[in-house]
Amino acid sequence: MYNASNSSKLALNDHEPVFDAANVLRAGRDLLYLISDSGNRCGAQWLQNCVGTDYRVRAYDNVYTGTHVDTTITLVRPGLVVVNAERVGPHNLPDMFRDWEVIYLSEVIDIGFTKTAYASTWIGINFMMVTPELAIVDSRQTPLIRELEKRAIKIIPLQLRHARTLGGGFHCVTLDVRRKGELATYCLG
């Protein structure tokens, strides 16, 4: 269901590093970095230089020109990921997820917006994992909730009423600065 028309010339050049934090999705020691209108290759290289050898920055390119990776891919737990089936298919799934169970979600509920939408309808897959078994999900996203519940994920259904208007979902508006446990390597290779 990947739509190649979403991939076109990017607005950024590579003269200097540019990226938005929401271009990056952390999976343990791997940092999936979306090349888009808000993150260039130079930014990926700069980030790799900053994090050194403790993390691996994996550039993810030719998906779509929009911004923020969390309307395209959302991690559930090590070994399970949700992807936007309009943008991601088996042919362009990041290598780091090749051995994972992938939920190719093809339907989200449009929650509407006021005046201007700063996010696509796919803000619906922008959810937040509290633990590997518990997710905060927009209560209107019944297709996503069904898929997660099939995999024994408990749901806290909430509404973030202006997510499309403000351009951010539950994952966007949170920042985990303190977590218990070990920093793991989720992906091989």
Catalytically active residues are 20, 68, 172
Instruction: Find out whether 94 and 32 touch, Cβ atoms under 8 Å.
Output: yes
**Dihedral (C-alpha) 36, 27, 122, 130: value to the nearest 10 degrees?**
-140
| Strand stretches in 42-184, DSSP E | 56-60, 73-77, 80-84, 101-105, 128-131, 134-138, 154-158
Angle at 73 (CA atoms; ends 134, 22), nearest 5 degrees = 95
Angle at 73 (CA atoms; ends 118, 93), nearest 5 degrees = 130
